[in-house]
Structure 1
Amino acid sequence: MKKIKYIFASLLLSSFLACDTDYIGDPDNPEIAPSTQLVTSAQFDLAFELNNQWTGARATLGFAQYWAQTFYTDENRYALRVSQIDDSWEWPYRILTDLKKVIELNENPETAALMSAYGDNNNQIQASRIMMAFTFSKLVDTFGDVPYWSYGQKNNTAFEGLRLEEGINSPAYTDAETIYEDLLAELLDAANKMNTSKTVFTSGDNIYNGDAAMWVKFAHSIRLRLAAHIHNYNNTLATSVFNESDANAFSSNADNATFVYGSDDITGGPWHDAFTVGARRDFGPALSFTELLYNRVGPFSSISEEDPRVTKYFDTRLGTAEVVGLPYGFGNAAARAIDDEGIPSSEIIKPNYNQILLSYAEMEFIRSEFNGWDQTHYENGVKASMESWNISSSDSDNYVALLPTANEENVLTQKYIALYMDGREAWTEYRRTGYPNTLTVPGDTYGTATFTTLVPGLNTIPNRITYPQNEQLLNNSNWDAARQGLSDGDTMVSKLFWDVN
């Protein structure tokens, strides 16, 4: 029922956002849907389904310890439900299928002329490639090796993903490092082939409103993110990618890749759906995060005042003077003993929440890293984050002036704070760098409770999510090959190739 509801919501959002909702042929039995409808559906799903209460709040927002659970805390001890793992796998492939269809509609001579009414054919293909690369990166950074396909190597028979129409229903997995190398090439090629004098999509693009120049910036900015991921694994490639794309990546908050949800219960964001429509009170801020924001732990503890973002990130409850955090990883009793925990802020819970997919602030922290922990880019990153959360420039400047100078820990801890609400990326950052070092980890104590995981053999924050059970049942031989390529098999213990921390 949950999936049916979300698919329905996605289609309604598509109609809501797209000015042109006509279908080719009978609208009750359409032969071909406009490419813009597929794009809007894919964008909505990319923003919603990978950041909702199942894949986000109960998984990656918890792994990153932005949020903790109030009552049902097993997932905070890493016992994920089968449905959560399925969603983290299945939704990206649904998104990728839609985007591949957009490419096919714009490339096929029989449909390309029809699709040209919805934007330049070439630009639609290049934007779809960029979104596909972004989506595949989410899959790889969650699982490792996965079935893969790319437009630039669509004739590569080793890339068996997304080939169901060709009769490949048990696709082989592609090595994660190989995928990364191809993603970097795909993004560069798509950016180079984008015609910035022409529109990408005439309607339905709720990220960049059809602006080709912005899609080029997005592609280069994704490359910077992926370069940061492999920085400590393959410095030569990472540095080369950074040098190629830095000048063309985001240069202000105006460039942020942001998805704005609709203003009602059907088209609204995942946190409106969870907290308002669903009346859930399952989540609150993690104590490790609030302690960091109040500068009681971590590298900024010399600052006597709290981070100004704390009251933008969370609202207080029951009249408390401060945002109260929940202990993460210590079980039901410890969580239920807190009855005045904060909640996500009204800006997050409102229907038309702005979900940032990639930000200028993140680019500035990456620039600081690649330039030897540069001070100016470090400060720019903090200020950009503050600005995006509507902190006044005076408050931002005052706080930045109090920060200790840039170094690895300071830059990466501020990057973590700025990545709030992107739990998947913050989890990736922790895995590759070990920062922030303020997270609670298995073995830590809270009162009389000890943080113990519920996953046999796992004594750390998860290094990956296990493959869905359906892969073992329906694609067993390829799953088995992928499993054997992992250091500790198909477990949360196995590290991804870039995780050399």
Structure 2
Amino acid sequence: MIKNIYRCLRIKRAMLAYSLIAISVLVSCTKNFDAINTDPTQVTPEMLKADNRYIGVFIVQMEKNVFPISNQGTGPNNFGDEMYQITQNLTGDIFSGQQGATGTWFGGSNNTTYNLIPSWTGAYFDRAYIGVFAAYKTIQQTVKTQAPDVYALAQILKVAAFQRATDMYGPMPYTRAGSSDATINYDSQQVIYQSFFKELDSARTVLKDYLVKNPSGKPLVNYDAVYAGDYAKWIRFANSLRLRMAMRIVYADAALAKTNAEDAVNDSYGVFTANADNAALGTYMNYNYHNPLEVITNSFGDVRMGATMECYLKGYNDPRISSYFKASDFGGYHGVRTGINVDRSGYIKCSAINVNQTTSTPWMSYPEVLFLRAEGALRGWNMGGGSAGILYAQGVSASFAQNNAGDASGYLSDATSTPTSYTDPVNSSNSFNSNPSNITIKWDDNASFEQSLERIITQKWIAVFPDGQEAWSEFRRTGYPKILPVLVNNSSGTINTTTQIRRLPFTQNQYSTNPAGVASGVALLGGPDNGGTKLWWDKK
């Protein structure tokens, strides 16, 4: 399957010529951009001009690439499953411990064992510019003045995508992206985050102004598959995203983190207040998206429950296990450990992900926001009411409701259950014979700060499934939950087995087309360009 992915990517790269140097060409040639990036089975900009919102097609393009996703059906344009696999599933998903891969690509020496495959690890770096930034730039050049509300939404989408990108790689060309200069220098991650907050400020102001003048206006209702053109919900998403980003930088810049977290929660529109606010991309009107995980788990057979996830869900007797996974062929629920010599015929019998084609692909949820607020309250911030313990309990309850797992009160009162050890159902030498953590579920007001933080992050980690990228970022930021380490480490010493992988290397494409630029990125990184170097916010 990965051979097909690699071949698909080589073809796609040849078609798109996607170096950062070429971004300026892509964004200045609308005709070329449409031909390459718009599904010919969908409406075209020419068809959309009738309602004066033809630019909506570029909002569609951006939404499809925050998490690379494809349309239902078959054909050369449905590369989203493979792109999702290498940008999300074979990076954050497996590094977080939520999921485990069953493939033996490159003889078993691949991302799963820390021999990072350049054509995989560089894919989201490139996708962010081709799939998201190029469409954003077209919107900026076309309707920033005439339709500032559309531009504001594009700003939010760009931040959502590049927050994921910078948290994978660190420094990136951001403020200079789209330049026609021969060399495009990188921005530090600190500068990128500061830019994110400013852009969200601007977008929020514009959308609020629009809603004052047009209370029922939904000009992008025909194109917005996340919130059906509801700008009020986009403002709440932007605030929730700001809260996430604020917490991400708390160990690097505590003052900036506190300011932005409190701003997000206490804004007049606020953050998510119910599961109905959750951001996710699914089938909408003529946009028949399917969930890439359904193909990766069922058709490819390349991913199963992660061993670490098994330890926590089984140890806690967590009823969400049946919402997340299917029973294994071994009976009960069994996961695959990342970083082992995989016997595919055996591990493919482990628990598949419980997902179907019409399951929406989640971006951010109300439970995550509650856990963010709980951590903020733990730090003494103004999180809009409620103690850390109350917000923690609300986060668990909201996750139970989201996953139809019943009443969470009994679960929340459990003061004894802890994560269990892991018994490998195929090869006992891959087992983990002790509990990864002794953290319990029930909130304890007398616990230490670190015990309370571990409790919050552990439940957040469970609740954000299947977004392993966000789960991996939170593990790197806090050290929680405690994730089973790899057994086979093929990084040649660049990644420490105990501290685990911290980032993805810059792309080979950048080294060949923008060498001076990528050199500036390495200098800003403050360490070698490998998976063991920590990011700016990774300070704990």
Coarse TM-score class (shorter-chain normalised): 0.7 to 0.9
Equivalent residue runs for 1:100-499 within 5 Å: 100-107=137-144, 112=146, 121-148=147-174, 159-163=175-179, 167-194=180-207, 195-196=210-211, 197=215, 198-247=217-266, 248-261=270-283, 267-276=289-298, 279-295=299-315, 303=316, 306-318=317-329, 320-333=330-343, 337-338=346-347, 340-345=349-354, 348=355, 350-372=356-378, 374-392=388-406, 394=407, 396-402=408-414, 403-405=441-443, 407-437=452-482, 439-442=483-486, 450-459=487-496, 460-499=499-538
Deviations 1:117-149 (A, max 9, x none): xxxx1211111111111112112111111001x
**How far off its partner does 1:264 sit?**
11
Equivalent residue runs for 1:35-46 within 5 Å: 35-46=55-66
Looking at structure 2, the residues matched to 168 and 353 of structure 1 have their Cα atoms a distance apart, in angstroms, of 42
Looking at structure 2, the residues matched to 273 and 340 of structure 1 have their Cα atoms a distance apart, in angstroms, of 16
**How far off its partner does 1:100 sit?**
2.1
**How far off its partner does 1:283 sit?**
1.4
Deviations 1:378-413 (A, max 9, x none): 011111112222223x3x333223232151111110
**How far off its partner does 1:23 sit?**
4.5
Which segment drifts farther, 262-271 or 216-225? 262-271
Give the TM-score, by structure 1 length: 0.82
Letter in 2 for 1:478: G
| 1:495 alignment partner, SS class | coil
**Cα pair 2:302 2:348 within 8 Å, conserved:** no
| 1:284 alignment partner, SS class | strand
**How far off its partner does 1:85 sit?**
2.2
The partner residue of 1:71 within 103, 108, 118 is 103
**Alignment-derived partner of residue 86 in structure 2:** 54
**How far off its partner does 1:488 sit?**
2.3
| 2:42 alignment partner, SS class | helix
**How far off its partner does 1:482 sit?**
1.5
RMSD: 2.8
| 2:38 alignment partner, SS class | helix
**How far off its partner does 1:5 sit?**
8.2
Looking at structure 2, the residues matched to 214 and 169 of structure 1 have their Cα atoms a distance apart, in angstroms, of 40
The partner residue of 1:34 within 54, 57, 70 is 54
Query: Cα–Cα, structure 1 residues 264 and 250, in superposed 2: closer, same or farther, change >3 Å?
Result: closer
| 2:361 alignment partner, SS class | strand
Looking at structure 2, the residues matched to 77 and 369 of structure 1 have their Cα atoms a distance apart, in angstroms, of 32
Looking at structure 2, the residues matched to 435 and 46 of structure 1 have their Cα atoms a distance apart, in angstroms, of 25
Letter in 1 for 2:121: I
- Structure 2: stretches of 5+ with no match in the other structure: 1-6, 17-34, 70-79, 380-387, 415-440, 445-451
Letter in 2 for 1:241: N
**Cα pair 1:40 1:205 within 8 Å, conserved:** yes
Looking at structure 1, the residues matched to 235 and 173 of structure 2 have their Cα atoms a distance apart, in angstroms, of 26
Looking at structure 2, the residues matched to 13 and 66 of structure 1 have their Cα atoms a distance apart, in angstroms, of 36
Letter in 2 for 1:342: S
Looking at structure 2, the residues matched to 367 and 265 of structure 1 have their Cα atoms a distance apart, in angstroms, of 34
**Cα pair 2:53 2:220 within 8 Å, conserved:** no
Letter in 1 for 2:401: E
Letter in 1 for 2:366: Y
Query: Cα–Cα, structure 1 residues 419 and 123, in superposed 2: closer, same or farther, change >3 Å?
Result: same
| 2:122 alignment partner, SS class | helix
**Cα pair 1:286 1:325 within 8 Å, conserved:** yes
Looking at structure 1, the residues matched to 261 and 159 of structure 2 have their Cα atoms a distance apart, in angstroms, of 17
**Cα pair 1:60 1:424 within 8 Å, conserved:** yes
**Cα pair 1:48 1:269 within 8 Å, conserved:** no
Query: Cα–Cα, structure 1 residues 14 and 172, in superposed 2: closer, same or farther, change >3 Å?
Result: farther
Looking at structure 2, the residues matched to 131 and 388 of structure 1 have their Cα atoms a distance apart, in angstroms, of 24
| 1:357 alignment partner, SS class | strand
- The count of aligned residue pairs is 443
Letter in 1 for 2:519: D
Query: Cα–Cα, structure 1 residues 391 and 261, in superposed 2: closer, same or farther, change >3 Å?
Result: same
| 1:68 alignment partner, SS class | strand
Over the matched positions of the two proteins, sequence identity in percent amounts to 22
Deviations 1:430-471 (A, max 9, x none): 11100001x1124xxxxxxx4424344211421110000111
**Cα pair 2:95 2:338 within 8 Å, conserved:** no
**How far off its partner does 1:36 sit?**
1.2
Looking at structure 2, the residues matched to 37 and 385 of structure 1 have their Cα atoms a distance apart, in angstroms, of 33
Looking at structure 2, the residues matched to 281 and 371 of structure 1 have their Cα atoms a distance apart, in angstroms, of 42
Looking at structure 2, the residues matched to 398 and 264 of structure 1 have their Cα atoms a distance apart, in angstroms, of 43
Equivalent residue runs for 1:94-105 within 5 Å: 94=130, 95-105=132-142
**Cα pair 1:14 1:37 within 8 Å, conserved:** no
**Cα pair 1:13 1:41 within 8 Å, conserved:** no
**Alignment-derived partner of residue 445 in structure 1:** none
Query: Cα–Cα, structure 1 residues 273 and 336, in superposed 2: closer, same or farther, change >3 Å?
Result: closer
| 2:280 alignment partner, SS class | strand
Looking at structure 2, the residues matched to 289 and 458 of structure 1 have their Cα atoms a distance apart, in angstroms, of 22
**Cα pair 1:15 1:21 within 8 Å, conserved:** no
**How far off its partner does 1:234 sit?**
1.3
Deviations 1:335-357 (A, max 9, x none): 66546311011xx2x22221110
**How far off its partner does 1:263 sit?**
11
Give the TM-score, by structure 2 length: 0.76
Deviations 1:472-494 (A, max 9, x none): 11111111122123232211111
